[in-house]
Chain A
């Protein structure tokens, strides 16, 4: 409970220990009131439906003590580090150093990623985790087109992920179409839904757009839950075919890939194949996005984020520009969804909740809007961090939420705080994110 504004913090710096203790005491008092009932009294419905309760004053005392101690520690740290805001004033030398690291970080990361299945061949857990991270990298890159480049706030991105997943699942289970036919279809269908949503709502601005995209995400999820004849409702779709290596199944059969190559069959083959599949899809997303940024459409997206009125004055059709951004982002979401379906073999509406949208948005914002490398790092940090806390069980989301708050306070503009120009005459100079707008859509 560090409920101290910078003003009081500076006051307490001069006032010294008594003020420090007073702040800590007030914070502890607040914590006592907050936790008294919520933590101090534990309610539970008994077997007969009657509510019972028992007290947990020890836990309250521990929490209050923690707040008291924590306040002192944080206050001391604040005095030691200096006034709030210093952390933003990173010296330019460090910044250029960081961008130098950034230049080599991306290729190094890519090489490492390519080698992951080689290094961790025997470690199924790591491979699975890597596939998960790459899925979110791809989702992050896809949403980055909408939020980071075009500056349109989309809180319902998971809808397109769901459309892609269900498109593949239903086409494959009902018609037996192969993954490689369904993948583009899933992307196209998701893009189609993106346009369908975008067309009426893109003249909305700011938070109105946010709530409509959120509502759209919920509508898609609710329809999936309730349209049981088509989607299986809450039970989901199971028995989704696994992808083949361009027609050659990756199984134990006589015409499987292992048999053809005369090597011993192992289930890891499929995992490795899935790993490279999602890596290829993610890199495709990245490559297309980087290309698009250097094309007129991509520049128009960024210009739209900077100033929509000026765009119109320059003859740019803002509606179609927004729609293309929406459709492009949705398409990548659809690809990722199809991959998700084929990897899991089973999908249900539970995988497509608002929390997923929030997670992907958090990845984009934490990455530093518009930065491809930043998004990849953020996905790694978020999903990896999330896995680290798996042992915490129910506390996991609690920690995750707190981390989101703290990260935003620490770096509101994300990890990579600058924008690279798309074209230059003599020298490409990174543009500080303080100048870059974030759109009003």
Chain B
């Protein structure tokens, strides 16, 4: 691993009652890179996400986020909304969680809540229509418009999010997460349910987020074409532990990974690989 680390997970453990969902997991994600977390269903990927984004309190281990300015934040000590607000970690959800009764634009405005809240002088300045707030709101609308354009939904800005097609909802959710101006973007299966064309567009979007904005991305994904195409680094999990890690190529050829996915043991996987190549 070269370069600068933005997120380092160290010996993360998560237990639910007697069940160990994640055990002693350690990995790191680099700044301005796309790190993918993959593994078969039930491997504990979403649990890791929920620990990183504060929805679960880890049973053990540490999660450190290092900002540009060198500031390091212990995520396991912050709870829910503070991770998004102070640590600047944004996330999307496996089963899309938009605000369905609000328009696309409103969704993106809600994402800028904290910035706008400050500008509105905790509502009081906004209530009397202070010019400072009006400027801030204009800027917020501009940012939202910019993101709607990026995800190709500008013409539907004033439609209710609940009316959007599935693929559009996925992109809108990413745009909403980006409107919080995060340092780290966590995506939970962004390509799930997308067709091939939409998956390709998604890959392009994620690459542009990395390349143009320099946002670090951590993603969980089952769609291997997306993962292999865009990831800089891949962490493979199975049964709550890390079984492999490395570049897309290295992971693809790792017998342990294939075994985990095929549900066979390692020797058979090697045999499968050798017969195939």
Are A and B in contact, CB atoms below 8 Å, in the complex?
Answer: yes
Which residues 96-121 of B sit at the A interface, judged by CB distance below 8 A? 97-103, 105-106, 109-114, 116-117, 120
Which residues 300-348 of A sit at the B interface, judged by CB distance below 8 A? 300, 302-303, 305-307, 309-318, 324
Residues of A within 8 A of B85 (CB): 315-317
A428 touches B53 (CB 8 A): no
Residue A435 CB within 8 A of the other chain: yes
Residues of B within 8 A of A431 (CB): 101-103, 160
Known: A312-B84, A314-B90. A296 touches B106 (CB 8 A): no
B123 touches A296 (CB 8 A): yes
Interface size class of A (residues with CB under 8 A): 35 or more
1/0 per residue, CB under 8 A from B, across A175-210: the answer is 000000000000000000000000000000000000
Residue A411 CB within 8 A of the other chain: no
A425 touches B127 (CB 8 A): no
Residues of B within 8 A of A422 (CB): 106, 109
Chain B: which residue is nearest A319 at the CB level? Answer: B81
Known: A307-B98, A435-B100. A423 touches B106 (CB 8 A): yes
A303 to B80 CA separation, bound complex (whole angstroms): 16
Residue A432 CB within 8 A of the other chain: yes
A324 to B123 CA separation, bound complex (whole angstroms): 11
Residue A299 CB within 8 A of the other chain: yes
A311 to B123 CA separation, bound complex (whole angstroms): 18
A307 to B30 CA separation, bound complex (whole angstroms): 31
A310 to B159 CA separation, bound complex (whole angstroms): 19
- Residue from B98, B105, B106 within 8 A of A310 (CB atoms): B98
B116 touches A296 (CB 8 A): yes
Residue A424 CB within 8 A of the other chain: yes
Known: A306-B99, A314-B84, A437-B101. A425 touches B160 (CB 8 A): no
A423 touches B101 (CB 8 A): no
Residue B158 CB within 8 A of the other chain: yes
A315 to B176 CA separation, bound complex (whole angstroms): 12
Min distance, Cβ B157 to any Cβ of chain A, angstroms: 4
A300 to B54 CA separation, bound complex (whole angstroms): 20
Known: A431-B101, A431-B103, A437-B100. A315 touches B180 (CB 8 A): yes
Residue A421 CB within 8 A of the other chain: yes
- Residue from A291, A314, A421, A432 within 8 A of B106 (CB atoms): A421
Residues of A within 8 A of B82 (CB): 315
Min distance, Cβ A332 to any Cβ of chain B, angstroms: 14
Chain B: which residue is nearest A431 at the CB level? Answer: B160
Min distance, Cβ B139 to any Cβ of chain A, angstroms: 13
B103 touches A300 (CB 8 A): no
- Residue from B80, B141, B177 within 8 A of A423 (CB atoms): B141
Residue B91 CB within 8 A of the other chain: yes
B126 touches A296 (CB 8 A): yes
B109 touches A423 (CB 8 A): yes
Residue B162 CB within 8 A of the other chain: yes
A246 to B93 CA separation, bound complex (whole angstroms): 56
Residue A52 CB within 8 A of the other chain: no
A316 to B86 CA separation, bound complex (whole angstroms): 11
B114 touches A435 (CB 8 A): no
A303 touches B157 (CB 8 A): no
Residue A269 CB within 8 A of the other chain: no
A435 touches B163 (CB 8 A): yes
Min distance, Cβ B38 to any Cβ of chain A, angstroms: 22
A424 touches B176 (CB 8 A): no
Known: A314-B111, A421-B158. A296 touches B101 (CB 8 A): no
Residues of A within 8 A of B110 (CB): 299-300, 303, 311, 314, 316
A313 touches B160 (CB 8 A): no
Residues of A within 8 A of B109 (CB): 296, 299, 422-423
- Residue from B55, B100, B112, B117 within 8 A of A306 (CB atoms): B100
A435 touches B101 (CB 8 A): yes
Residues of A within 8 A of B114 (CB): 315-316
Residue A427 CB within 8 A of the other chain: yes
Residues of B within 8 A of A292 (CB): 123, 127
Residue A426 CB within 8 A of the other chain: yes
A426 to B141 CA separation, bound complex (whole angstroms): 12
Residue B8 CB within 8 A of the other chain: no
Known: A296-B117, A315-B113, A316-B81. A423 touches B97 (CB 8 A): no
1/0 per residue, CB under 8 A from A, across B110-150: the answer is 11111011001001001100000000000001000100000
B116 touches A424 (CB 8 A): no
Residues of B within 8 A of A432 (CB): 160
Chain B: which residue is nearest A324 at the CB level? Answer: B123
A300 touches B113 (CB 8 A): yes
Which residues 371-424 of A sit at the B interface, judged by CB distance below 8 A? 419, 421-424
A429 touches B84 (CB 8 A): no
A226 to B127 CA separation, bound complex (whole angstroms): 40
A306 touches B102 (CB 8 A): yes
A314 touches B176 (CB 8 A): yes
Chain B: which residue is nearest A425 at the CB level? Answer: B157
Residue A98 CB within 8 A of the other chain: no
1/0 per residue, CB under 8 A from A, across B176-194: the answer is 1100100000000000000
Residue A436 CB within 8 A of the other chain: yes
B residues with a Cβ closer than 8 A to A are: 53-55, 80-86, 90-91, 93, 97-103, 105-106, 109-114, 116-117, 120, 123, 126-127, 141, 145, 154, 157-160, 162-163, 176-177, 180
A residues with a Cβ closer than 8 A to B are: 288, 291-292, 295-297, 299-300, 302-303, 305-307, 309-318, 324, 419, 421-429, 431-433, 435-437
Q: Can you name 20 A-B pairs with beta carbons within 8 Å?
A: A291-B126, A292-B123, A296-B126, A300-B110, A305-B101, A310-B97, A313-B84, A313-B91, A313-B93, A313-B177, A315-B82, A315-B83, A315-B84, A315-B86, A316-B110, A316-B113, A317-B85, A425-B145, A433-B101, A435-B101
Q: Which A-B residue pairs are the 6 nearest by beta carbons? A: A436-B101, A315-B84, A315-B85, A306-B99, A435-B162, A296-B116
